[in-house]
Structure 1
Amino acid sequence: MIHEIDEALRNLIRENALAGSGIEVLLEAPTKEWAARRNTPTVNMYLYDIREDLRRRELGRIPEYDSDGRIAARHRPPRHMKLSYLVTAWTQRPEDEHRLLSSMLVVLLANEMMPPSRLTGSLAELGLPVPMTVASPPPEDRAFADVWTALGGELKPSLDVVVSVPVPAVPPEPAAPLVTEDLVARVVTRQTRVAMSRQAKDRRP
C-alpha cells in the first residue's frame, strides 16, 4: 500500500511537473552524506512520517451482500493513514531549485485527490478517494527543523506533501447462518391459559 503511493506520487511529479526534463525522482533520506554525492539535478520525496488520520476513523460494520441480496459477511471500515513526504529539489543553483519547487507546487495544488488513474494494486481495487494536501502547517508536535536535524542535514526549502491512504481492515466476519426452518407460532388466549392451569392442578398427586 505504501509502495503504491510512492509510485503514484513519483509518477505524478515526474510526468506532470518534470516532463521532458530527465530529472530523477528518488525516495531516499536526504542526509548530509547523500547530498554530498548528488552531481545531477534531482528531486527527492522522503517519507518521514506515518500516522493515522483520526478524523476519518469510522465505527461499526459494513455489510457485504451475496448474489441473492442477503448479508453474507460484515467488515470494519478501512482505516486511513497519513503518509508525509518531504519533497526537495537538488541542483547547483538555488534559483533552479526554486523553479522545480514551483512546478511541483502547481501540479500538487491542482490535485486535491490522487488521480484514480495513478492508483494501482490494492488501492485501485478499493476504489476509495485518496486525498492529498501540500504545504499545510505541520502539527504542533512536529517541526521541519526537527526533521532536518534528525537527518543531519542543513535546512532546505521543501514541500510537505501528505497523502491520506485507506487501509483495508481485517478479513470480513462471516454472517450468522440463515434460518431456513419454518417458524411455528401458537396463540394462547386467556381461556387457554385457564384450561392449562386446571389440567396442571389435576395432574398433581
Structure 2
Amino acid sequence: MIHEVDEALRRLVRDEALRGSDLEVAFDAPTKDWAARRNAPTVNIYLYDIREDMRRRQRGMLNEYDAQGKVAARHVPPRHMKLSYLVTAWTQRPEDEHRLLSDLLIGFLKYEAVPPGLLSGTLDELQLPVPMTVALPPPEDRAFADVWSALGGELKPSLDVVVSAPISSGRRFEAGPPAKEGVQLRSGEERVRHDVSEDGVAMRRVAR
C-alpha cells in the first residue's frame, strides 16, 4: 500500500502540480550526503512517519455477498494509515525552490483526497477515498525541526503532506449455511418439531 501511495504522489507532482515538468522526483532521505550527490533540480518526497488514523477506525464486520445475494463471508473493515511526507524542493537558488514550493502547494490544495485516477493496486481495488491534507500544523508530539535534526541536515522550507490510506487486514470469515425454519428434535421413534405460528403462538407437532 505504501508504494502505491508513493506512486500516486509522484504522478500528482509531475502531472498536476508541476504540469509535466522534467524535474526529478525522489523519495530518499534528504540527508547531507544525499544533497551533496544531487546534480539536478529535484522534488523530494520523504516518508518520515506512519501511524494509524484512529478517527477512521470502524467496528463490526462487512458482509460479502454471492451471486444470489446471500452473505458468503464477512470481513474486518479496512484500517486507515496516516503516511506523513516531508516535501522539499532542491535547486541552486532559494528563489527557485520557493517558486517550486508555491506550485506544489497550489497543486496539492486542489484536492481533499488523492484523485481516484492516480490510484493503483489495492488502493484502486478497495474503491475507498484516500484523504489528503497539506501544510497542517504537526501533532504536539512531533516537530519538523526534530525531523531535520534526525536527518543530520539544516532546516529547510517544506510542505507536510499527510495521506490517510486504507489497507485491508486480510481477515475474512466464511459464512455458515442459512438457518432452516424451526428446530427438529428426535426422541426414540418420535420426531418433534417446534414452530411458531403467524400470531406468535408456539406450536408443537409430532410426527412418527
TM over 0.5: yes
Q: Which runs of 5+ in 2 are unaligned?
A: 184-192, 196-202
Instruction: Establish whether residue 185 from structure 1 lines up as the match of residue 194 from structure 2.
Output: yes
What TM-score do the two structures reach when normalised by structure 2?
Answer: 0.86
Alignment of 1:83 with 2:92, yes or no, is no
Contact conserved, 2:182 with 2:194, CA < 8 A, in 1? no
Gaps of 5+ in 1: 189-205
The residue aligned with 2:66 is 66
Q: What whole-Å deviation, never above 9, does each CA across 1:116-150 have from its counterpart, x for those lacking one?
A: 00001111111000000000000000000000000
- Offset of 1:68 from its aligned partner? 1.6
The answer to whether 1:24 aligns with 2:24 is: yes
Report SS of the residue matched to 1:74.
Answer: strand
Secondary structure of the residue aligned to 2:9 is: helix
Higher strand share: 2
Please give the secondary structure, in 2, of the residue aligned with 1:40: coil
Give the TM-score of the pair, scaled to structure 1. Answer: 0.88
Q: Which amino acid in the other structure matches residue 77 of structure 1?
A: P
Question: CA separation in 2, counterparts of 1:164 and 1:121?
Answer: 16
Q: CA deviation at 1:178?
A: 2.2
Q: Structure 2: which amino acid aligns with 1:94?
A: P
Q: Distance in 1 between matches of 2:21 and 2:129?
A: 30
1:93 aligns with 2:93: yes
**Structure 2: distance between partners of 1:22 and 1:56:** 37
Residue 39 of structure 1 and its aligned partner are, at CA, apart by 2.3
Distance 1:138 1:65 in 2: 41
Residue 72 of structure 1 and its aligned partner are, at CA, apart by: 1.1
Q: Deviations over 1:56-77 (max 9, x none)?
A: 0011111111122211111111
Task: Give 3-state SS (helix, strand or coil) of 1:107's partner.
Answer: helix
168-177 vs 3-12, which moves further: 168-177
Identity %: 67
Higher helix share: 1
- What is the number of equivalent residue pairs in this alignment? 188
Q: CA RMSD in A?
A: 1.4
Identify the structure with bigger relative contact order (alpha carbons < 8 Å, sequence gap 6+): 1
Q: Distance in 2 between matches of 1:108 and 1:165?
A: 16
One-letter code aligned to 1:27: F
Instruction: Give, in whole Å, the separation in 2 of the partners of 1:90 and 1:72.
Output: 53
Please list, as runs of the form range in 1=range in 2, the aligned pairs for 1:1-205 lying within 5 A after superposition. Answer: 1-180=1-180, 183=183, 184-185=193-194, 187=203
Larger Rg, first or second structure (1 or 2): 1
Give the ranges of 4+ consecutive aligned residues of structure 1 lying more than 6 Å apart after TM superposition.
none
2:85 alignment partner AA: Y
Q: Distance in 2 between the 1:2 and 1:111 partners?
A: 19
